[in-house]
Homo-oligomer: A and B are copies of this chain.
Amino acid sequence: MTDAPTACLIIIGDEILSGRTQDANLKFFGERLAAMGIRLKEARVIPDVADVIVETLNTVRALYTYVFTTGGIGPTHDDITTMCVARAFGRTVIKHPEAVRRLVAFYGHMPNEARLRMAEVPDGPGVDLIDNRVSAAPGYRIGNVFVMAGVPSIAAVMFDAAAPMLQRGDPVFSNHVEADVKEGDMAAELTDIQARYPHVSIGSYPSMRGGKYCTSIVARATDKSAIEKALSEVATLMKKLGGVPEMGSLS
């Protein structure tokens, strides 16, 4: 597990930080990366400010196996991600011939100068386009950085297109058991269960359901049987506290 690939997601966009737009990409990337055994270690949400984007890119690309960015690769003045990625790698920006070809095919004619910005990538070696089967304008990979659109439906198809470029780790499975018990009543024994399963990450999530306190215990690990054993102990504990545990299904 220690040499599983790691990742950071950089969500670029003033609209997320201002609260105008609810981010949907983090949940998607989190799920997909977990299924591929890539550990999403961190996500950073940053504004459309060039210096911040460049500095964040250079910090995190040295820390993690992969960096994914979403946002800022459209045709308008506030789309500055590619210029920043190029600066972070000390490169200039060029129009990628194959990306231009795809835009021409998509629009049926040579697009205007603004749209042609969507064909821009950093110059030099190690750059691969990432297909966009929704709206043609591609993302790209440069080194360990994967540059993708912010619109969730486009980010999703780009992730699928980029997936074959990614090294996988042991997949992380998870399951949960929940019951109408209070987490504060379970906490001490749950600590003991966690101690008995050091390779299972056990999280406790309280909620209210129909006016009743409810606790969901989530177990995550690469070892399915360890998840099953740990959650079965949790279910026993829930029953002892008068709850009616419902086991989820392994995913």
Contacts and interface: CB of A to CB of B under 8 A. Distances in A.
A145 B117 CA distance: 41
Task: Count copies of this chain in the complex.
Answer: 2
A43 to B, nearest CB: 4
Interface in A31-60: 31-34, 40-48, 52
A202 interface: yes
Nearest to A117: B187
B42 A204 contact: no
A20 B32 CA distance: 11
Interface stretch (A69-77, A82-90, A94-102, A222-230): A69-77
A191 B21 CA distance: 22
B78 A204 contact: yes
Contacts of A52: 41-42
A27 B21 CA distance: 7
A43 B52 CA distance: 13
A77 B20 contact: no
B18 A48 contact: no
Given A77-B202, A184-B114, A188-B114, A16 B45 contact: no
Interface in A203-251: 203-207, 218, 220
